[in-house]
Structure 1
Amino acid sequence: MMPKVPTPDDGSRTFIQSLARGMAVLEVLSQCERPLNLTELAEAVGLNKVTVSRFCYTWVRLGYVHRTPDKHYHLAPKVLSLGYGALCRMDIRQVGEPYLQELSRTLGETVNMAVRDGIEILYVDRYVTEPIMKHPLHIGARLPLHCTSMGKAILAFLPAKERNEVLTNLPLHIVTHRTITTLEALQWELDQVRRQGYALNDEELSVGLRSIAVPVLKHGQPVAAVNVAVSTSRYTVEALVERCLPALKETVRTISDLLAKQVPVRRVHRRSEGE
């Protein structure tokens, strides 16, 4: 399914609508697994082809988008320098990196870290032990808050006012047959998550995938979340909690303590990991 990224407009005189529209084109290309033509891009961002053509021409000239001989567009490698540079400077990733790696090694399972970006989570680090999802994730990938364990872990520990503001603007899209699709059900689950201290994802994002997540707190505020992702063929929900939660909690507690104390952590070299 082709992503839909309508361009925002907050009504402010200082809001640059043309810039927002140009960025919407990049967002669509970043979420699509194949090159798109102008008709597809125009439909995705809700603009006419002439306007989208001008944005694409500009992005191509700047080196962030590549145009194929048959007039299709996809992101060029240069665009990676923007996101990766920001990710590499994130303190949370620097602090958590060696501990996530150790947790993955100890459990023999995939471990991920994500932060909240609006109504989505953004993956900032991950250690993969086996392919579970049909479409592999990567650092920089974005997923909805409501159907991910890390998203729910972060949401549950937000201050009440901020959480309510996010929920008001949160589209509860159906992803699988187990996705939460009502605000009442999501609020009930977030209350449960806050009481028990961890969140579960039981095939709500992808059939065959279960995960458990704990929020990373800094001065009581959720700045990220860490999860352990497993295959349903090997873990029941009960087994996931029993086998993985203690080590996951200990890892997150260590990261949270280091963030609170602002202890510098030496970065470790890591190899590229594939699905």
Structure 2
Amino acid sequence: MRSDDETTERETDYRVPSLQRGLAILQMFNAARRNLSMAEMAERLGVSVSAIYRIVHTLCEMGYLRKLGKNNYELGPQVVSDGFGYLTSRDLVDVALPHLNALRDRTSLSCHLSIREQTDSLYLYRAFAAQRLSVNIPIGTRIPCHCTAMGRMLLSGLNDSQLDNLYQHVRLDDYPPPAPRTLPELRAMLDQDRERGWVLHRSDYSTAIACAVHDHRGAVTAAINLSGPDAVMDDETARSHYRQALQQCARAISRELGGG
């Protein structure tokens, strides 16, 4: 007869065994043990080879494991990519945070920081302006790059070949103007963005100005923006002031990242 505690534990066990096994397999690799056979993995987990075959195959397909020879495996490049990508993003946020907060305080406008993930602009940080008509995009939001000011600055770091490869199978005509509807139109737009060094983008109720942030190699590693209601941003003199403040902020962040 089961006790109440045993019953409760079984009813609230939300673990996913296959996920547990997949993560346990990745944790088996270390500096002392750089490769393992599937039989060794199964033995360490106390299961049969057939029980983990599909898990190992999936990890290989996703790049977290790489097959060596007939039946040996090592950690794949995705493990390193994800790890360094996370660390880089955290370092970037830590560097940018005080600069964006100060920019928000000087201008009373919302500021955002984003990086590019494939064709999306991923929002990593926001300095939210406490006013009724503030623009407030949550951290973790993804927006297609070609539709936003920050996204276009992120794409401006790509050459024509990289841009063609990135958008080879991506449709652009599902978004309203001023978003470009074709790849040649996007390419021409980015040429102007690079030469100008900033992008201004108007939506239904707000305006955003974006600049690129550069790393120690001079590559575009992120983008920042100032965004506010049209009532505030319509004045050309004010907009010029905001743009200069944003560019100074982008240069300060770039310098801390080793950029020129």
Which residue of the other structure, out of 255, 258, 262, is the alignment partner of 2:256? 258
Residue of structure 2 aligned with 1:229, choices 227, 230, 237: 227
Q: Structure 1: where are the runs of 5+ without partners?
A: 1-13, 21-85, 262-275
Given that residues 111 and 127 in structure 2 are in contact (C-alpha distance below 8 angstroms), is that contact kept between their aligned partners in structure 1? yes
**In 1, Cα distance between equivalents of 2:182 and 2:238:** 26
* Cα separation, 2, equivalents of 1:237 and 1:160: 35
* Bigger radius of gyration among the two: 2
Within 1, Cα distance between the matches of 2:205 and 2:88? 31
Q: Name the aligned partner's letter for residue 208 of structure 1.
A: Y
2-structure distance, mates of 1:131, 1:178: 26
- Displacement of 1:189: 1.1
Aligned position for 1:147: 147
Structure 1: distance between partners of 2:257 and 2:208: 24
CA distance in 1, matches of 2:88, 2:241: 31
What's the TM-score, normalizing by structure 2?
0.61
Alpha-carbon separation, structure 2, partners of 1:186 and 1:250? 27
Q: Deviations over 1:152-209 (max 9, x none)?
A: 0011122443223223244325444533222222211100000011112122xxx112
Gaps of 5+ in 2: 1-55, 63-85
Aligned pairs for 1:174-213 (under 5 A) are 174-203=174-203, 207-213=204-210
User: Distance in 1 between the 2:177 and 2:243 partners?
Assistant: 26
Matches for 1:93-242 after TM superposition, within 5 Å = 93-129=93-129, 130=131, 137-203=137-203, 207-218=204-215, 219-236=217-234, 238-239=236-237, 241-242=239-240
CA RMSD of aligned residues (A): 3.2
Q: Distance in 1 between matches of 2:243 and 2:113?
A: 15
The alpha-carbon deviation at position 241 of structure 1 amounts to 4.1
* Fraction of identical pairs, as percent: 25
Instruction: Give the number of equivalent residue pairs.
Output: 182
Please state whether the residue corresponding to 1:161 is helix, strand or coil: helix
What SS class does the counterpart of residue 260 from structure 1 fall into?
coil
SS at 1:233 equivalent: helix
Rounded to whole Å, the distance in 2 between the matches of 1:141 and 1:87 is: 19
